[in-house]
Amino acid sequence: MWDQLLNGLVIGNLYALTAIGITQIYGVAGVVNFAHGSVYMVGAYIGWMAIAWLHWPLVPAILLVLAGSAAIGLLVERAAVRPFARAGSTILLLTTIAAGLIMDNAAQIIWGPQTQALRSPLPQWQFKLGGGTVSFLDLFILAAGVGTALLLHLFLYRSRAGWAVRATAQDREAALQMGVDVNRVSSLSFAMAGAFAGLSGLLVGLYFNNIYPTMGASATLKGTTAALLGGLGNVPGAILGAYVLGITEAFSVEWLGSSFRNLMAIVLLIGVLIFRPNGLISARRALNPEPTAGTFIPHGRPLRFPRWLLPAVTVSAMALPLFLSNPYPLQVLAIAWVFGLMAVSLNLISGTTGQISLGHAGFVTLGAYASAILTSRLGLPFSLSLLVSPFLAAAIGVLLCYPALRLRGQYLAITTMGLGEAISLIALNWEGVTQGPLGISNIQPPGFFGYPIVSPAGMYLLAFAVLLIGVWVVHRLSRSHLGRALRAMREDEVAARAFGIGLARYKSIAFGVSAFFAAAAGVLLAHSYSYIAPDTFTFALSIQVLTMIILGGRDNAVGAVAGAVILIALPESIRFLGEFRFILYGLLLIGMLRFRPYGLFNSAT
Amino acid sequence: METILELQDVNTFYGAIQVHFDLSLSVSAGEITCLLGGNASGKSTAMKAIFGLVRPRTGRVFLAGEEATHWGTPRRVAWGLRSVPEARRLFPYMTVRENLLMGAYLRRDRRQVAEDLEKMLDLFPRVGERLDQVAGTLSGGEQQMVAMARALLGRPRILCMDEPTMGLSPLWVDRVLELIQTINRQGTTVFMVEQNARAALQIAHRGYVLRHGTVALRGTASELLDNPLVESAYLGGKVI
């Protein structure tokens, strides 16, 4: 009991170091910085290089980490935040995600994807305290966390620059009119937040004795959770939130098992977003003003094609297997069609309805697991499962999302990310049904009436057929009364409601239809891979699909499919790009949002 | 009289929508100049253009004869522009004292600032009673006092006020107008944007009436007070 509390406090301090940065950046720049965890990861690697390669003692290593990760923080601000400062918070959310994606994958290329051991250069002694053991590192982490918090407090309340930070966070335009250079405040905040994050990354590496390139994802998640628990923008709140999170996790590990650590964090995240979006200690129940319109990403009009072009492309795509003897392009294109289906379905949420969803992988996972379980446990044939599983997944998906649908902008985006994560964590922990981390293997190949489809040409045609159905349904929906209602919500939620559009109801229809086709894509993938596990479809997939529709053009089915084909086929056809695939996605995302935010297949209105 | 602030043929846009059409106006040192106009006439955007918060597509801005068109907001503030923004815009989670000192953010003469702070408390006694209160909890009139004191602590060469009477009770409106007059008599140039034309013209020296983003009428305050066209300039509505 005492041991758990101590453990929770130590972890809480580590979370606090990331959470204060997230909360400070939110205050100054108005965005939940999704690249924060990546700065933390780079900080850990800088410390690892100093300790393991250069054999530096801990203190100079920490100084190097602070300086290096402050510089990385500044870089994020310059490349992904400053150019978009006037574009609105949803775009910033996407550009910081892209920056994180680029850093995580660059780290894999530079330092390798494997886990690196990080041995603490600190003395190894420990002592007993009231039934628990305390190590020197524990004390060091406590001191670092509390010390940073105190220093930050002194900075914010006693220094001129600190006042400028607070003033900018409370009212950017008013601060400008006092003569505060808000750009410098923004740089300063990113540098400070980066330094704290890097320190946190190094200390976490020392605590668990290892580091790896994707360690930042959970730091972003935990830091954001802690910051939300304290109320975004509230520094003392973030520290309190970090302790709440650390201690909750420690006790759930003790009582439920170690695999429940992340699930409890997600439950806290979603719970606070839905019930107290302004944090545990805030008196206000209403949300901070976010734009009433969904995304604030400029929308264009679909490009016009000659009438014959789309049917001609469709027919030639169907005839392609007749002319290709090499199965490889067919396999690649089959994958592209499945991703096209995901993109078309996400388009309904993020394009037509204008809500950023970062949890699309969750719907794919739901469909894949539903079908895997129905066909292997209950012996349902594939043809039936292809119909039933998406219905199941859509029903579960809407039930899960429904409470979150009154949230907007970044808050909804973070909730969808949390839900996506929750779905794969439930798959991980519900071993009786999902076989937990083992996953489900030997899933039957797709087939109809007892004839299995195993040839590349067959898979290709099956994927294409399902894609066509998806495109047709989404197209019909979006041209109907329903589509107009969804677009009205995108343009102005308040106005839409004033015209009698029930927001939650229409958003759940959009999420439901979207989940249906995402799940159908999941069914196709599960049966063609013949194996799925909780980590088959991850957050990276959600971002990949989102990139596809931003590339192709939102609210444009043709653009979505084209975006999928480009993003799947391009890295395959240019071999050396394979390793750089996700870096390419990140760069494309930032570049498109900067220079052609309405997408390749839309024109500006 | 020396011209201390001038807009020359300013054309401002929000995206594709044009707000100002060749807007020109000037403010003389030592006077109270008011910019009047109805809703959506471009008053507040004019204030933003003066502060560099909105960049005109064409046209020029001069501060005491020096071209400031391309200066950023902090530089214009450093020159001596200070604002009492629309709806006050106090820093809601800072105390009144901290808000006041933010007004002196660019000043390095700490002792002088402390003296000026004392003077402000004489000018605005209500503010002194609230020094350690968080600004977001003050009433509208009290916030207006703090916003004015905050701006004055920057020792402005021009005090710019965006709708200083907006949202105040009639009692407070009179009090605020009196204070503006007092401040001006002590030597500060005042430029104010107001919807409440009659009230503003009672204390101003000179006025401009803005309509559809361009100057419809201009003159001394007494000329404008007697001019029936001022009323019709307000989209057919009458001046309150």
Which one-letter amino acid corresponds to residue B94?
M
Where does the pLDDT of residue A284 fall: very low under 50, low under 70, confident under 90, or very high at 90 and above? low
Whether A283 is covered by a domain: the verdict is: no
Residues of chain B with Cβ-Cβ distance to A161 below 8 Å are none
Whether A584 is covered by a domain: the verdict is: no
Q: Is A86 on the interface with B (CB under 8 A)?
A: no
Q: Give me the pLDDT at residue B141, please.
A: 86
Pair A9, A102 in one domain: yes
Helix (H) or strand (E) holding B162: strand B158-162
Cα gap A417→B130, rounded to integer Å: 44
Pair A42, A163 in one domain: yes
Where does the pLDDT of residue B236 fall: very low under 50, low under 70, confident under 90, or very high at 90 and above? very low
Which SS3 state, helix, strand or coil, does residue A263 take? Answer: helix
Taken in order of first residue, the domains within chain B and their CATH numbers are 1-80+157-240 (3.40.50.300), 93-155 (no CATH)
Interface test with A, best of B76, B102, B160 (most A CBs within 10 A): B102
Pair A266, A379 in one domain: no
Beta strands in A130-262 (DSSP E): 132-135, 210-211
Contact A290, A410 (CB under 8 A): yes
Q: Do B106 and A163 touch (CB under 8 A)?
A: no
Contact A111, A213 (CB under 8 A): yes
Q: Which of A230, A255, A275 is the last residue of a domain?
A: A275
- Look at residue A290 and tell me whether its pLDDT is greater than 60: no
Whether A588 is covered by a domain: the verdict is: no
Count CA within 13 A, CB hemisphere, residue A268.
28
- Nearest Cα residue in chain B from A171: B91
Average pLDDT for chain A: 90
DSSP annotation of B81 reads: E
Which one-letter amino acid corresponds to residue A524?
L
Cα gap A459→B189, rounded to integer Å: 78
Closest-CA distance of chain A to residue B228, Å = 36
Q: Give me the pLDDT at residue A249, please.
A: 94
Cα gap A449→A381, rounded to integer Å: 8
CATH of the domain at A9: 1.10.3470
Encoded tokens for A20: 């204060």
Encoded tokens for A308: 């014959």
Residue among B72, B77, B89 minimizing CB distance to A171: B89
Q: How many domains does chain A have?
A: 2
Q: What is the DSSP track for A202-218?
A: HHHHHHHTEE-TTHHHH
H helix intervals, chain B: 43-51, 73-79, 96-103, 110-123, 125-129, 140-152, 170-185, 197-203, 221-226, 229-233
Encoded tokens for A90: 């949803």
Pair A223, A346 in one domain: no
Encoded tokens for B112: 């002088």
Q: Is A181 on the interface with B (CB under 8 A)?
A: yes
Cα gap A421→A221, rounded to integer Å: 10
Q: Do A176 and B105 touch (CB under 8 A)?
A: no
Cα gap B7→A533, rounded to integer Å: 66
Q: Do B77 and A181 touch (CB under 8 A)?
A: no
Supply φ then ψ for residue B35, to 5 degrees. -110, 115
Closest-CA distance of chain A to residue B173, Å = 23
Number of other residues whose CB lies within 10 A of the CB of residue B220: 13
Closest-CA distance of chain B to residue A179, Å = 4
Where does the pLDDT of residue B234 fall: very low under 50, low under 70, confident under 90, or very high at 90 and above? low
Q: Is A604 on the interface with B (CB under 8 A)?
A: no
Helix (H) or strand (E) holding B11: strand B3-11
- Look at residue A254 and tell me whether its pLDDT is greater than 50: yes
Pair A81, A192 in one domain: yes
Over residues B61-89, the pLDDT tens digits come to 999 999 999 999 999 999 999 999 888 89
Pair A255, A387 in one domain: no
Residues of chain B with Cβ-Cβ distance to A178 below 8 Å are 77, 102-103, 105-106, 150, 154
Pair A338, A475 in one domain: yes
Q: Which residues contact A599 (CB under 8 A, 6 or more apart)?
A: A300, A549, A550, A551, A552, A553, A554, A556, A559, A563, A592
Chain centre to alpha carbon of residue A554:
19
Q: Do B105 and A170 touch (CB under 8 A)?
A: no
Measured at the alpha carbon of residue B191, what is the angle toward residues B189 and B196, in degrees to the nearest 5?
A: 135
Q: Do A178 and B154 touch (CB under 8 A)?
A: yes
Number of other residues whose CB lies within 10 A of the CB of residue B40: 12
Nearest to B210 by CA among B190, B189, B226, B224: B224
Residue among B92, B93, B102 minimizing CB distance to A178: B102
Whether A165 is covered by a domain: the verdict is: yes
Supply φ then ψ for residue A288, to 5 degrees. -55, 150
Pair A36, A172 in one domain: yes
Q: Give me the pLDDT at residue B235, please.
A: 46
% of chain A residues with pLDDT over 90 = 67
Nearest to A360 by CA among A335, A343, A338, A372: A343
Q: Do A178 and B92 touch (CB under 8 A)?
A: no
A377 CB-contact burial (10 Å; exposed 0-12 / middle 13-18 / buried 19+): exposed
Whether A485 is covered by a domain: the verdict is: yes
Q: Do B102 and A167 touch (CB under 8 A)?
A: yes
Over residues A110-128, the pLDDT tens digits come to 999 999 999 888 877 778 7
Q: Give me the pLDDT at residue A292, please.
A: 41
Closest-CA distance of chain B to residue A180, Å = 6
Range of the domain at A350: 332-539
Residues of B with CB under 8 A from a CB of A: 51, 53, 72-74, 77-78, 82-83, 85, 89-94, 98, 101-103, 105-106, 150, 154
Q: Which of A275, A301, A318 is the last residue of a domain?
A: A275
Q: How many CB pairs under 8 A join A and B?
A: 61
Encoded tokens for A471: 């495109």
Residues of chain B with Cβ-Cβ distance to A171 below 8 Å are 89-92
Higher local confidence (pLDDT), A573 or A541 = A541
Residue among A173, A180, A181 minimizing CB distance to B53: A173
DSSP annotation of B164 reads: T
Q: Give me the pLDDT at residue A199, please.
A: 97
Encoded tokens for B221: 């305050």
Q: Is A180 on the interface with B (CB under 8 A)?
A: yes
- Look at residue A289 and tell me whether its pLDDT is greater than 80: no
Over residues B20-44, the pLDDT tens digits come to 999 999 999 999 999 998 877 888 8
Number of other residues whose CB lies within 10 A of the CB of residue B27: 25
Over residues A216-234, the pLDDT tens digits come to 999 999 999 999 999 888 8
Q: Give me the pLDDT at residue A467, please.
A: 97
Pair A483, A342 in one domain: yes
Cα gap A277→A299, rounded to integer Å: 28
Q: Do A178 and B93 touch (CB under 8 A)?
A: no
Q: Do B154 and A171 touch (CB under 8 A)?
A: no
Encoded tokens for A203: 């200390």
Over residues A12-47, the pLDDT tens digits come to 999 999 999 999 999 999 899 999 999 999 999 999
Measured at the alpha carbon of residue A210, what is the angle toward residues A207 and A212, in degrees to the nearest 5?
A: 130
Residue among B73, B91, B154 minimizing CB distance to A171: B91
Cα gap A406→A65, rounded to integer Å: 41
Residues of chain A with Cβ-Cβ distance to B157 below 8 Å are none
Measured at the alpha carbon of residue B92, what is the angle toward residues B91 and B97, in degrees to the nearest 5?
A: 65
Interface test with B, best of A158, A178, A184, A234 (most B CBs within 10 A): A178
Whether A188 is covered by a domain: the verdict is: yes
The Cα-based distances of A439 to A388, A429, A530, A533, B160 in angstroms read 21, 11, 11, 4, 67
Helix (H) or strand (E) holding A4: helix A2-29
Nearest to A470 by CA among A311, A326, A306, A337: A337
Q: Which of A255, A275, A295 is the last residue of a domain?
A: A275
Residues of chain A with Cβ-Cβ distance to B92 below 8 Å are 170-171
Q: Is A170 on the interface with B (CB under 8 A)?
A: yes
Q: Do B74 and A176 touch (CB under 8 A)?
A: yes
What is the residue whose two structure tokens read 């043929």?
Answer: B9
Cα gap A195→A76, rounded to integer Å: 13
Over residues A526-567, the pLDDT tens digits come to 999 999 999 999 999 999 999 999 999 888 899 999 999 999
Where does the pLDDT of residue B240 fall: very low under 50, low under 70, confident under 90, or very high at 90 and above? very low
Residues of chain B with Cβ-Cβ distance to A176 below 8 Å are 51, 53, 73-74, 77
Q: Do A177 and B51 touch (CB under 8 A)?
A: yes
Q: Is B5 left (phi over 0), alpha (psi -120 to 50) or beta?
A: beta
Alpha-carbon dihedral A592, A598, A603, A604, rounded to 10 degrees: -110
Encoded tokens for A483: 């589509």
Q: Give me the pLDDT at residue B238, please.
A: 45
Pair A239, A384 in one domain: no
Whether A149 is covered by a domain: the verdict is: yes
Pair A174, A269 in one domain: yes
Over residues A323-381, the pLDDT tens digits come to 888 889 999 999 999 999 999 999 999 988 888 899 999 999 999 999 999 999 999 99
Q: Give me the pLDDT at residue A497, please.
A: 85
Pair A269, A416 in one domain: no
Whether A27 is covered by a domain: the verdict is: yes
Contact A12, A143 (CB under 8 A): no
Rounded mean pLDDT, A477-489: 91
Q: Do B85 and A177 touch (CB under 8 A)?
A: yes
Where does the pLDDT of residue A306 fall: very low under 50, low under 70, confident under 90, or very high at 90 and above? confident
Q: Give me the pLDDT at residue A576, please.
A: 73
% of chain B residues with pLDDT over 70 = 97
Cα gap A26→A17, rounded to integer Å: 15
Q: How large is the greatest C-alpha to C-alpha distance in chain B, in angstroms?
A: 52
